[in-house]
Amino acid sequence: MLRAPAIWCQNYMQGKHYNLIFRRILSPLCESKCTVRQNIGGVRMSKSDNRHDAEKLMDAKRLLSGLVTDAVAPEAVCANLETALALAGTIKDIGHEAAPVFRA
Amino acid sequence: MTLPQDLADATAVETVFAIAAGQISARERAEAALARIEADNTTLNAFTEVTRARALAEADAVDASKRADLSLGPLAGVPFAVKNLFDLEGIKTLAGSKLRQNADPAPSDATLVQRLTSGHAVTLGALNMGEFAYDFTGENVHYGPSRNPHDPSRMAGGSSGGSGAAVGGGLVPLSLGSDTNGSIRVPSAFCGIFGLKPTYGRLSRAGTFPFVDSLDHLGPMARSVADLALAFDAMQGPDPLDPVCNADASFVASLQSLEEAPQLRVARLGGWFRGQGEPASDTAADKVAQALGAVEDLEIDGVASARAAAFVITNVEGAALHLDDVRATPELYDPFVRDRLLAGALMPGVHYVRAQRARLRFQQRMAKVFERFDLLVAPTTPMSAPKLGAETVILNGTSVPLRPNIGIYTQPISFIGLPVVSCPVWSASVPYGVQLIAPAWREDIALGAAHHLQTAGICTAFFNNGAT
């Protein structure tokens, strides 16, 4: 059974916004591991439960090095992206106007 | 004027009057604040830098002016502190980060700091915050969390957590914060104080470290509405250094208008803004709405999309700002912040464009609402201050991640730049926040209504020792 990120990844790739760049970035997400957070005495640490921090950092660096290379995205990135894309999917395109600032 | 037994408890307005009347000196007031900081900051972790020498020099200058019978500024002798994304001359502007420990000290004060000190306010220092303002909790992996003055095991709220804790804990009567998605209003709610997020473009952001240019606002936080108005009036005005700061915006004399009691058409926002979180959050908003004579429960279309668009814009613009630094030194970032920024860097551009377009539609919709109403009432957050380190919250009966959901009631409003005052309402010794939302450029309406609520005893900022 596919884990949630993999299912989402598969669904995303079948969507109309699928493209090569995203396939190459997101497909390795299935290999990603869990992130666990500790909060001890107010000082916050984040560590992977079965991968070393340094390895996770390297994943992040690879992911960002060109945004097109094959890389493992930390699962937390996947979760954040999944949330943002889900919210973005609720925004209807309203046309060409854009006037974000109130005028006095 | 009768002053509190401990001078550190004096509000900004009380301080100004007492100094003008010669009851106290500015140095005495500054020393009282410094003593309070020394006593309580270890617990609250609100300050990252205390500018003792500067504060005493500025206080002495006020006293010298007083002795020389020179005119005093409107904020003469008022101690204040700023979120550490504001430039303070000679100090590194950390913006809550480890990364900026390598930055040069700021060459000058931020515009708003200059305006407060031009009014003879006294600068006490820089305040803790969430890393690069990308949080709602007030926690910080590098400097430790700002702690809630009413229960230090709980969050102060973010990202202006130190600003909320410092004012709620009585360290200073006035602080400045920034609000991109709720970062003034959330800590104001959690810490039981008043906070003003002015209209987008009202106050200059020059000399502050940015987060999301499309959504960044700055504003004051205080224990009384009069203090908010006093500071707000001193900070208004165009600034060529911030292209968003609207030169055409006419000055609003909010302090003078506090005592006016116009008949307001008030609505309580329902729909999205009702029933998502703790019942006490809704009860607080209902209590305020009733006190203001709200005539109906109003449901507005498109709020969910507005919130979603705010989320997307924040994610993408934040990522764009930090991409180079995240690439170069990801190890210097809080992993939680870094993961959000990485996600933002991967967002398709089409979503960002649609999110920006959605602002116009929602602005127009809200403009129609304000043809019928002068003021809207909604909860600030769906919950009271969570325990530090909490990961989840129950919304709509379902356990969801806490961090992305603290701002569900604040994001749709800052998304279109409306002015808001967050007012504290108490339920069983726990503070909740209620948003008073006014039309663009009408901060005076929100402040006037907040002042009425404070005078009526419905909204009150308690000290952590229980005294008002």
CA closest to A17 among chain B residues: B348
CA distance A66 to chain B (A): 10
The confidence score (pLDDT) of residue B188 equals 98
With an 8 Å Cβ cutoff, are A96 and B357 in contact?
A: yes
The predicted-structure confidence for A70-102, as pLDDT tens digits, reads as follows: 444 566 777 788 888 888 888 876 665 555 555
The confidence score (pLDDT) of residue A15 equals 42
The confidence score (pLDDT) of residue B58 equals 98
The predicted-structure confidence for B346-403, as pLDDT tens digits, reads as follows: 888 889 988 998 988 899 899 999 999 999 999 999 999 999 999 999 888 899 999 9
CA closest to A87 among chain B residues: B308
Q: Which residues in B lie closer than 8 A to residue A103 (C-beta atoms)?
A: 246, 248
User: Phi and psi of B322, rounded to 5°?
Assistant: -105, -5
d(C-alpha B321, C-alpha B168), whole Å: 32
CA distance A24 to chain B (A): 12
Residue B428: Cβ within 10 Å count: 6
Inter-residue contact B372 to B366 (CB < 8 Å)? no
With an 8 Å Cβ cutoff, are B144 and A35 in contact?
A: no
Give the angle subtended at the CA of A103 by the CAs of B226 and B176, to the nearest 5°: 35
The confidence score (pLDDT) of residue B67 equals 97
A93 CB within 8 Å of a chain B CB = yes
Q: Which residues in A lie closer than 8 A to residue B355 (C-beta atoms)?
A: 88, 91
Complex ipTM value: 0.82
- pLDDT category, A22, cuts 50, 70, 90? very low
Tokens of B74: 């409107």
With an 8 Å Cβ cutoff, are A101 and B417 in contact?
A: yes
A67 CB within 8 Å of a chain B CB = yes
The confidence score (pLDDT) of residue B52 equals 98
A92 CB within 8 Å of a chain B CB = yes
Give the angle subtended at the CA of B119 by the CAs of B114 and B120, to the nearest 5°: 95
- Please tell me which residue in B146, B160, B175, B183 is annotated as part of the active site: B183
The confidence score (pLDDT) of residue A19 equals 39
With an 8 Å Cβ cutoff, are B312 and A90 in contact?
A: no
The confidence score (pLDDT) of residue A2 equals 40
Please say if B83 is a catalytic residue.
Answer: yes
The confidence score (pLDDT) of residue B345 equals 85
Among residues 6-25 of chain A, which lie with CB inside 8 Å of chain B?
17, 22, 25
A63 CB within 8 Å of a chain B CB = yes
CA distance B11 to chain A (A): 30
A66 burial type by CB count under 10 A (0-12 exposed, 13-18 middle, 19+ buried): exposed
The confidence score (pLDDT) of residue B408 equals 96
Inter-residue contact B264 to B293 (CB < 8 Å)? yes
A69 CB within 8 Å of a chain B CB = no
The residue behind tokens 């059974």 is: A1
Q: Which regions in chain B score pLDDT beneath 70?
A: 463-468
- Please tell me which residue in B83, B92, B197, B287 is annotated as part of the active site: B83
With an 8 Å Cβ cutoff, are B342 and A77 in contact?
A: yes
The residue behind tokens 């609250």 is: B44
Inter-residue contact B435 to B378 (CB < 8 Å)? yes
In terms of residues, how long is chain A?
A: 104
CA distance B145 to chain A (A): 6
With an 8 Å Cβ cutoff, are A64 and B361 in contact?
A: no
Helix then strand then coil, % of chain B, to nearest 5: 40, 15, 45
d(C-alpha B26, C-alpha B200), whole Å: 33
User: Phi and psi of B230, rounded to 5°?
Assistant: -60, -50
* CA dist list (Å): B61 to A43, B70, B82: 40, 11, 21
The confidence score (pLDDT) of residue B251 equals 80
Please say if B250 is a catalytic residue.
Answer: no
Interface test with B, best of A67, A94, A96 (most B CBs within 10 A): A94
Q: Which residues in A lie closer than 8 A to residue B356 (C-beta atoms)?
A: 98, 100
The confidence score (pLDDT) of residue B321 equals 97
With an 8 Å Cβ cutoff, are A93 and B354 in contact?
A: yes
Please say if B197 is a catalytic residue.
Answer: no
The confidence score (pLDDT) of residue B164 equals 98
Q: Which residues in B lie closer than 8 A to residue A12 (C-beta atoms)?
A: none
A25 contact partners, CB below 8 Å, separation of at least 6: A63, A67, A68, A71, A73, B346
